[in-house]
Amino acid sequence: MHDQIARLIRADIRALTAYHVPDPAGLVKLDAMENPYGWPDSLKAEWLDVLSSVALNRYPDPQGSIVQAALREAMGIPSDLGLLLGNGSDELIQMLALAVAEPGRKILSVDPSFVMYRMIARFAGMEYVGVPLRPDDFSVDLPAVLDAIAQDQPALIYLAYPNNPTGNRFDSDDMVRIIEASPGLVIVDEAYAPFTDCSFLGLLGDWPNLLVLRTLSKMGLAGLRLGYLVGPPVWLAEIDKVRLPYNINILTQASAAFALRHKPLLDEQARTIRAERTRLFAALSNLDAVRPYPSEANFILLRTAKGRADPIFNGLKDQGILIKNLNGSHPMLEDCLRVTVGQAEENAAFLNALTRLL
Ligand SMILES: *Cc1c(COP(=O)(O)O)cnc(C)c1O
């Protein structure tokens, strides 16, 4: 069987390790940029009422028309822009790559950034070009990006705005220079839109090659798996052709449409998370032994003293707190940890445990 595997499975796939998610059982979960707040019981009851009328024996609406309308209304997406739904924004990142993949074609992003850009480029058989961010503040090295664009002529550029896992938001003028220099599509990935005041959504149409990618995951609906791509309809009509039929299941369609009708609650939760982020950042800044990086997302990247990230990560876990250890994931993230902003008590527990370890 091993011979067969070696013969059949592509060498570049065999060389990968599957995306690993640790078991969070019993731990305070501050590792995955989830919204820590649930819904009030009355709203849950209303939601269950909606679900009870869903016809599970039928295929879902292939276009997700009701969710699309709810998204347009809740997010202010004008009718002259196209909208495409994905099973999480991950699926849209993959659909974009599949639609343009050809031997020799490249995907460009900055490094370190969202790991799926690189992985999906590989899945699609495309080459990935990662232009290093500036190591001191993780800002875009614009001359380096412009050089790489001229050199590699990428078919796709993904820019996370704000960036994951660093938390900073790139300079908007740098973004515009990149869009204008790009011979291909530029996808501005706004997964963290609820936690910043800046967006390219309102600028769609200003450049023919700009698309904006969003998700409901980080705003409180990670379990639903719903992402959306917005941009000129002619582009989205092409990308739509590689979408698998019925990619958004019927429970997600019903639940997302319901949740979006209650967007003020999600907005309120995002405001609370932003306030907690400010408090957590201030508390981390007061500790001598770690350096937090400014964040416009719902997490904070921090750098520990040399060689301390692994023991701190493990020590936190021993005290029942799960965060993300980025040490070893990228040379620029040596000694780095990433903590998701949780509820006030969770953040306090994290700070307590961290202080004890330092
Ligand atoms: C979390 C994240 C996503 C993926 O979101 P899903 O919609 O849950 O697939 C996409 N882009 C960035 C930058 C992220 O951090």
C-alpha dihedral (235, 236, 239, 241), degrees to nearest 10: -120
The mean pLDDT of 97-116, rounded to a whole number, is: 97
Q: 278-316: string of b/e by CB count within 10 Å (b at 16+)? A: eebbebbeeeeebebbbbbbbbbbbbbeeebbeebbebb
Ligand 1 binding pocket includes 227 (Cβ within 6 Å): yes
Q: Which tens digit of pLDDT belongs to each residue from 235-285?
A: 999 999 999 999 999 999 999 999 999 999 999 999 999 999 999 999 999
CA–CA gap between residue 201 and residue 210 (Å, rounded): 10
89 C-alpha vs ligand 1 centroid, how far in Å?
A: 6
What's phi and psi for 199, nearest 5 deg?
-160, 155
Please identify which residue in the block is written with the tokens 């967007």. 263
If we measure between CA atoms, which residue out of 260, 302, 267 comes closest to residue 285? Answer: 302
**Which pLDDT band holds residue 17 (cuts at 50, 70, 90)?**
confident
* Residue to substitute in 217, 229, 296, 299 for testing ligand 1 pocket (most ligand atoms within 8 angstroms of CB): 217
**Which pLDDT band holds residue 25 (cuts at 50, 70, 90)?**
confident
Percent of the chain scored above 90 by pLDDT? 95
Ligand 1 binding pocket includes 179 (Cβ within 6 Å): no
Ligand 1 binding pocket includes 164 (Cβ within 6 Å): yes
For the beta sheet containing 127-132, the strands, ordered from the edge strand earlier in sequence to the opposite edge, are 82-86, 227-231, 210-215, 185-189, 156-160, 106-111, 127-132
Q: Which tens digit of pLDDT belongs to each residue from 141-195?
A: 999 999 999 999 999 999 999 999 999 999 999 999 999 999 999 999 999 999 9
342 C-alpha vs ligand 1 centroid, how far in Å?
A: 18
Q: How many residues does the chain have?
A: 358
SS (H, E, C) 204-257: CCCCCCEEEEEECHHHHHHHHCCEEEEECHHHHHHHHHHCCCCCCCHHHHHHHH
**Reported pTM:** 0.97
Ligand 1 binding pocket includes 89 (Cβ within 6 Å): yes
Ligand 1 binding pocket includes 113 (Cβ within 6 Å): no
Task: Supply the pLDDT for residue 23.
Answer: 86
Ligand 1 binding pocket includes 114 (Cβ within 6 Å): yes
Sign of the C-alpha dihedral, residues 106, 112, 114, 115? positive
Q: Which tens digit of pLDDT belongs to each residue from 333-354?
A: 999 999 999 999 999 999 999 9
- Of 8-17, 81-90, 272-281, 287-296, the least confident: 8-17
Please identify which residue in the block is written with the tokens 């480029």. 121
Task: Supply the pLDDT for residue 18.
Answer: 80
List, in order, residues 6 or more apart from 232 with CB less than 8 Å away.
81, 82, 204, 205, 208, 211
Ligand 1 atom closest to residue 93's alpha carbon, by position in its atom list: 10
The mean pLDDT of 34-60, rounded to a whole number, is: 97
Ligand 1 atom closest to residue 90's alpha carbon, by position in its atom list: 9
Ligand 1 atom closest to residue 165's alpha carbon, by position in its atom list: 15
DSSP string, 20-61: P----TTSEE-SS--------HHHHHHHHHHHHT--TTSPPP
Q: Which tens digit of pLDDT belongs to each residue from 282-317?
A: 999 999 999 999 999 999 999 999 999 999 999 999
CA–CA gap between residue 5 and residue 27 (Å, rounded): 37
Ligand 1 binding pocket includes 217 (Cβ within 6 Å): yes
Residue 2 has pLDDT above 90, yes or no: no
What's phi and psi for 38, nearest 5 deg?
-95, -160
The count of other CB atoms within 10 Å of the CB of residue 11 is 7
Ligand 1 binding pocket includes 86 (Cβ within 6 Å): no
Ligand 1 binding pocket includes 228 (Cβ within 6 Å): no
Residue 127 has pLDDT above 90, yes or no: yes
Contact 174, 141 (CB under 8 A): no
* Residue to substitute in 35, 90, 93, 300 for testing ligand 1 pocket (most ligand atoms within 8 angstroms of CB): 90
